[in-house]
Structure formats: structure tokens, C-alpha cells
Chain A
Amino acid sequence: DADVTQTPRNRITKTGKRIMLECSQTKGHDRMYWYRQDPGLGLRLIYYSFDVKDINKGEISDGYSVSRQAQAKFSLSLESAIPNQTALYFCATSDSRGQGDTGELFFGEGSRLTVL
């Protein structure tokens, strides 16, 4: 089983619909992230959480919200989806407590969202 699991893997929806992407991890990491990837571009940070009570906006948080339900679960919501939110979304985790912290990110397999 994957250490970082995202659901759904693919979703097609219509403009104005509310969408939730879920992420769960079995790695025991404290930090979780949501990134967005558009074709030909790198990964841009939407939101991040350094522990259950800590939620922070990333560089492109407008139109998104998140919830850290438990250390292992971090969900991303699009309250009213629009076509330019069509993208590949990745959840990632990292462990701040390891020795020689490299900030290594462990990614899920991605959730491909299409907004019509």
C-alpha cells in the first residue's frame, strides 16, 4: 500500500461544484502539503500544515481551503470550482523530526481534476 494516498485519483466536475480531495498518510510525518501542477510547470504550494493545529497559506491559496482532521489526514476543498482550477494536485508529507533534516517530500500519486 502507498504511504501517501490520495482520493479520488481522477475527477471531472462542473463549474460551481464543491470538490474535496483527500489525503492520508501512514508515514507518521508531522508536516503535510498540497501542491498544484499545471502542464509544463513546477509544483506550486497551495496550503501546508506543520501539525494538526497549524494551517498556513501557500503561494496560490485563493479559491481553496484545507482541513487537517488528524495528523494522518489533510484534505483540500474547492468551494466553487472554476475551469482554471483544472490541474494535477499532489499531497505531500515531510518529517521535521528526522536527523539531518533534508526537507524531503514524499508525494502521493496525484489527483487529476478537470473542471468543465
Chain B
Amino acid sequence: GQSLEQPSEVTAVEGAIVQINCTYQTSGFYGLSWYQQHDGGAPTFLSYNALDGLEETGRFSSFLSRSDSYGYLLLQELQMKDSASYFCAVRGYTNAGKSTFGDGTTLTVKP
């Protein structure tokens, strides 16, 4: 099966850069995804890494290293609206490509 670990909470100030890490154990997977969820609302897709390296989408970037079983989400120029929960997820080979989620990291952005 798959398991993912993320820090439970991260705090940063407006305008700063924050990195949310995700370590995983899996026997093989298609890629690593990141989702954002505000206050128990619908999670929304942020990014996907199928290959090692950095993927950039505006202020958000995501990184994957398969050899280190590690990924991260980088948020730059933090804004108050970035306060939310962030989940990493893997799509595993052994479960028909379904996504398994980490427990999430709650990001609090302070003025």
C-alpha cells in the first residue's frame, strides 16, 4: 500500500516563502499531486509531478524526487488567502491509479 507523511501545521508571514514537505512509501506510483482545501470546502487540484524535478505554476511550485521518496510544495509571495490545508497524494500502480492522500498540512499565513 501507500503511506504519506506531511507536517500537521506550518505558519508563515505574508509575503514570505513556505515549503510543505511530503515523504511517502509506495511500491510504485504514477505521480505525486497536491490539493488545496479551504475551511472544509471542496479540495482543489494544484499540481502534479510525474517526473523528478520542479513544476511551476504561478506562485506555486511542486517538486518530486523519486530516489528520495520525497516531494514538496513551494508557495511564494504568500497571501492571506493561502491560509488553507494542503494535501499531497500519490497515484499508485497497485491500486489502479487511485489517489491515496496524506493527512494534510494546515498553513496559517499571518500579517
Contact = CB atoms under 8 A, between A and B. Distances in A.
A4 to B, nearest CB: 8
Interface stretch (B63-71, B73-81, B91-99): B91-99
Interface residues of B, number: 25
Contacts, number: 59
A41 B104 contact: yes
Contacts of B103: 40-42
A108 B33 contact: no
Interface string A64-103: 0000000000000000000000001010000000000011
B98 to A, nearest CB: 6
Contacts of A103: 30-31, 33, 48, 91, 97-99
Contact of A43 (B31, B43, B91, B97): B43
B30 to A, nearest CB: 7
A40 to B, nearest CB: 7
A107 B33 contact: no
Contacts of A90: 42-43
A28 B50 CA distance: 24
Contact of A109 (B33, B41, B104): B41
B87 interface: yes
Output the residue of B44, B91, B98, B101 with the most chain A CB within 10 A.
B98
B36 to A, nearest CB: 11
A109 B50 CA distance: 27
Given A42-B102, A110-B41, A112-B40, 6 more contacts: A4-B42, A37-B40, A45-B99, A90-B43, A102-B48, A107-B43
12 contacts: A40-B103, A40-B104, A41-B103, A41-B104, A42-B87, A42-B101, A42-B103, A44-B101, A45-B99, A102-B45, A103-B91, A109-B42
